[in-house]
Amino acid sequence: MGLIVQKFGGSSVANAERINHVADIIADTYKAGNNVIVVLSAQGDTTDDLIEKANRINPNASRREMDMLLSSGEQISIALCAMALEKRGLPVVSLLAWQIGLQTNNTHMDARIRKIAKERLQTELDKNNIIIVAGFQGVNAFGDVTTLGRGGSDTSAVALAAAFHANLCQIYTDVDGVYTADPRVVPNAKKLSEITYADMLELASQGAQVLHNRSVELAKKYHVNMEVVSSLKPVPGTKVKEVVKVEKTNIGGVAKMDNIVRFSLVGLADRPGVAFKVFSLLSRNNVNVDIILQSVGRDGSKDISFTCTMSGVEKARAVLEENRDAMGYDSIEIDYDVAKISLVGAGMMTHAGVAADMFEALYDGGINIQMIATSEIRISVLVKKDDANRAIKVVHDKFFGAES
């Protein structure tokens, strides 16, 4: 058989019942003759509860101490899961990041994995122990605890799969795979049996919640066979890999992102370098800008619009206001009533007419497009928030058919 890495998220280990269910899945995998390394997140709302505790004491706590605090959550879930496997009479050992030598860089709360020491894990694999590893956490070169940021446990799982050349890295979630659109929004969305790393990456970046793009990037880099699979129903999931069998549309899916806002700088002087000034300033202040639109305004001036995530709004506003004189604009407008709809698919742009078909679907649906951005494997449009779910449906129907 081989080595299988299985990752379970916070809701999968939220209480005793869910932990027992997870233990059954792990036990079945082990009894089928596999070595198993399990990666767990903190239980349910643990991380949010800990953040609230910290905020009550010091909302400006250092990132080092936040990491010390937050990494306690996974310790609880791995110990409880190990106990559930002990109850099933199976040999098991739970291990923290420092025990498996999971080394990261020094960026607290958003650390990157540098390497994983093999000794302890290999010793436990050689003993045929099931290994339950705390996800999300690492240790930096100073011997301090770090955490990996959003999607950290997925990343831990893929890194372990890469380090030990696992046959498969299964990411267990509440959904049973990757769909052509969010099934809660588009009831006739289709589950993909396979998707390429590239498409998955683009879908994840464009708002599909099922996998975090860092883990997909890592999987792509080290050729890790990933599978998104349901922790609730025993049905086949979606395999993420380098090459998939080509289907007729070549389109992976439709994704929505609505935690974004649109900034407009109105009445900028129409001279060279103005746009450069705006975006280099934002970039230097770590505001990630997504779609950009520049248009000619009244009186020979011009307007520049761009989108950024909700979390960047205050920073962007402050930076722009501080530098108003240098940039010479009339006013800033901020529009919160926007959502981004993205159509994703590898090689999509080589098929003529995909963009035209998408715009036609939106036009037929009476949905106004505010901004457009394209990449090699993606077309994104900005629409009003209220139109977003309908926009997903009409685009999805156009490319995947209205009947499921």
Closer residue to a second copy (CB): 136 or 399 = 136
CA–CA dist 281, 276 (Å, integer): 8
Tell me the CB-side half-sphere exposure of residue 63, using CA atoms within 13 A: 10
One residue of 120, 277, 315, 317 binding a second copy per CB under 8 A: 120
With contact defined as beta carbons under 8 Å apart, do 340 and 260 qualify? Answer: yes
Q: With binding defined as CB under 8 A, does residue 204 bind a second copy?
A: no
Query: If you count them, how many residues does the chain have?
Result: 404
DSSP string, 34-64: -EEEEEE---TTHHHHHHHHHHHH-TT--HH
One residue of 25, 36, 80, 278 binding a second copy per CB under 8 A: 80
Query: Among candidates 242, 198, 239, which has minimal Cα distance to 223?
Result: 242
CA–CA dist 307, 292 (Å, integer): 7
Annotate each residue in 37-56 with x if it binds a second copy (CB under 8 A) or - if it does not, as one string.
-------------x--xx-x
* CB neighbour list of residue 273: distance below 8 Å, 6 or more residues apart: none
Q: With binding defined as CB under 8 A, does residue 16 bind a second copy?
A: yes
Closer residue to a second copy (CB): 102 or 200 = 102
User: Within positions 331 to 350, which residues make up the interface with a second copy, using CB under 8 A?
Assistant: none
Sheet with 102-104, strands from edge to edge, namely: 113-116, 102-104, 137-139, 145-147
CA–CA dist 110, 154 (Å, integer): 14
User: Within positions 223 to 282, which residues make up the interface with a second copy, using CB under 8 A?
Assistant: none
CA angle 348, 352, 353 (to 5 degrees): 100
Query: Among candidates 154, 176, 170, which has minimal Cα distance to 230?
Result: 176
Segment interacting with a second copy, rule: CB under 8 A, options 73-81, 270-278, 290-298, 328-336: 73-81
* CB neighbour list of residue 228: distance below 8 Å, 6 or more residues apart: 171, 173, 175, 177, 178, 210, 211, 237, 238, 240
Closer residue to a second copy (CB): 65 or 357 = 65
Q: Minimum distance between the CB of residue 285 and a second copy, rounded to whole angstroms?
A: 24
Q: Minimum distance between the CB of residue 318 and a second copy, rounded to whole angstroms?
A: 24
Q: Minimum distance between the CB of residue 124 and a second copy, rounded to whole angstroms?
A: 11
Annotate each residue in 81-100 with x if it binds a second copy (CB under 8 A) or - if it does not, as one string.
-xxx-xx-----xx-x-xx-
Segment interacting with a second copy, rule: CB under 8 A, options 71-79, 335-343, 355-363, 378-386: 71-79
Q: With binding defined as CB under 8 A, does residue 286 bind a second copy?
A: no
Annotate each residue in 124-163 with x if it binds a second copy (CB under 8 A) or - if it does not, as one string.
-------------------xxx------------------
CA–CA dist 10, 3 (Å, integer): 23
Segment interacting with a second copy, rule: CB under 8 A, options 16-24, 185-193, 238-246, 378-386: 16-24
Total of residues contacting a second copy (CB under 8 A): 39
One residue of 11, 14, 21, 64 binding a second copy per CB under 8 A: 64
Closer residue to a second copy (CB): 82 or 102 = 82
CA–CA dist 190, 176 (Å, integer): 11
Q: With binding defined as CB under 8 A, does residue 69 bind a second copy?
A: yes
Closer residue to a second copy (CB): 46 or 370 = 46
With contact defined as beta carbons under 8 Å apart, do 402 and 394 qualify? Answer: no
CA–CA dist 92, 35 (Å, integer): 11
Task: Note the residues at the interface with a second copy (CB under 8 A).
Answer: 16, 19-20, 50, 53-54, 56-58, 60-62, 64-66, 68-69, 71-73, 75-76, 78-80, 82-84, 86-87, 93-94, 96, 98-99, 120, 143-145
